[in-house]
Chain A
């Protein structure tokens, strides 16, 4: 936990905050930091805006909604670094950043992430308290207003998948939902990064019905996963959440889709269970490199088709 920030290592929250400041200081022309709210434990929720102008298409990306999925925040940091480093050098990234913005939330569940570093590596939820229960935390990916109450099995505070007392009851969820809603005219895609199981998912999770633009989403997911596999032949499967992974309600992906963002995707990054949530740092770089290819493809698609 000592030492400086590194893209090849897992970074604790303090290092990530310092890194956000450093990125803004280094590239003020393309990076700005927006505080979109704060957590239950009063930690700031920062979004990094990558891009130059305000009124244009944007992609919102978040990482670390589940505390123990450490490779996810590692990817968001990698993305910001690669995007800023290759702007003006790499043809595709230059074109993307000349024409669109990326909003990157490097750690969604800040309190949970800190807890997973300091107290319990296996922690998943946030750190909110609940009346009449000694159990702590809400699963932020069950707390969005998307068929929120439909799963009775997520209504106990002691469960790892507890959905919270009400939709958007959690400060973190509310902050993200408000930010996305206030930028709805520009945000054309929403991408959330989880681990593990190597999947690229799209709506819906709360129903087995297919979204109206299903064919379009399949096409993007298919080519996205193909692009990803070109680097190290890592195989990802893709499809709607409900049939590809399992049915869920209250997910950010379904919520963003129903809000009108018609290209919403969730990555379940490496691996397939050999390490699970304990992916060694030596795998961060290859995981991020291959994921970058899929994200760049999705961004190019959004630029061309929205």
Chain B
């Protein structure tokens, strides 16, 4: 079986400011397949916490518009997860 690829998948960072924004993240986790990097699950998300999650190429637009609608600032930590996976092997053989 070919390994799973993560082309154009992104890792986003958001910091929900209040309970309302926290619930937006939790709701997004239910409706989109988000992979939580930090914290490790949506139920740990609280206000003012740094939240990092991976989102598929397909899911990115809906996540982006939900964050925009809720006036939540987000940062794109990784633009293309697959590219980063390949770049992690940056040391040549001894």
| Chain A interfacial positions (CB closer than 8 Å to B) | 3-4, 6, 8-10, 70, 118-122, 124, 151, 153-154, 159-161, 196-197, 245-247, 273-282, 284
CB proximity of B27 to chain A, nearest CB, Å: 15
> Which residues on the B side are within 8 Å of A153 (C-beta)?
41, 43
> Which residues on the B side are within 8 Å of A275 (C-beta)?
78, 84, 88
Report yes or no: B81 in contact with A246, Cβ–Cβ below 8 A.
Answer: no
Report yes or no: A273 in contact with B1, Cβ–Cβ below 8 A.
Answer: no
- In the bound complex, how far is the Cα of B43 from the Cα of A160, in angstroms? 12
* Besides A8-B94, A9-B91, 4 other A-B contacts (C-beta < 8 A): A122-B4, A122-B81, A196-B37, A281-B91
Report yes or no: B88 in contact with A280, Cβ–Cβ below 8 A.
Answer: yes
Report yes or no: A273 in contact with B50, Cβ–Cβ below 8 A.
Answer: yes
- In the bound complex, how far is the Cα of B7 from the Cα of A140, in angstroms? 28
Q: Which partner residue on chain A sits nearest B1 by CB separation?
A: A119
> Which residues on the A side are within 8 Å of B6 (C-beta)?
121-122
Query: How many residues from B make CB contacts under 8 Å with A?
Result: 32
> Which residues on the A side are within 8 Å of B88 (C-beta)?
10, 70, 275, 278-281
| Cβ contact of A122, chosen from B54, B90, B93, cutoff 8 A | B54
B 11-64 contacts with A by CB, 8 A: 11, 13, 35-41, 43-44, 46, 49-50, 52, 54
Q: Which partner residue on chain A sits nearest B45 by CB separation?
A: A246
CB proximity of A284 to chain B, nearest CB, Å: 8
- Can you show 21 pairs from A to B with CB atoms below 8 A apart? A3-B93, A6-B91, A8-B91, A119-B1, A120-B4, A121-B3, A121-B85, A122-B6, A160-B36, A197-B38, A245-B39, A246-B44, A247-B44, A273-B77, A275-B78, A276-B38, A278-B85, A278-B87, A278-B88, A280-B90, A280-B91
> Which residues on the A side are within 8 Å of B84 (C-beta)?
275, 278
Report yes or no: B52 in contact with A273, Cβ–Cβ below 8 A.
Answer: yes
Report yes or no: B41 in contact with A160, Cβ–Cβ below 8 A.
Answer: yes
CB proximity of A75 to chain B, nearest CB, Å: 16
- In the bound complex, how far is the Cα of B4 from the Cα of A118, in angstroms? 9
- In the bound complex, how far is the Cα of B94 from the Cα of A275, in angstroms? 24
> Which residues on the A side are within 8 Å of B1 (C-beta)?
119
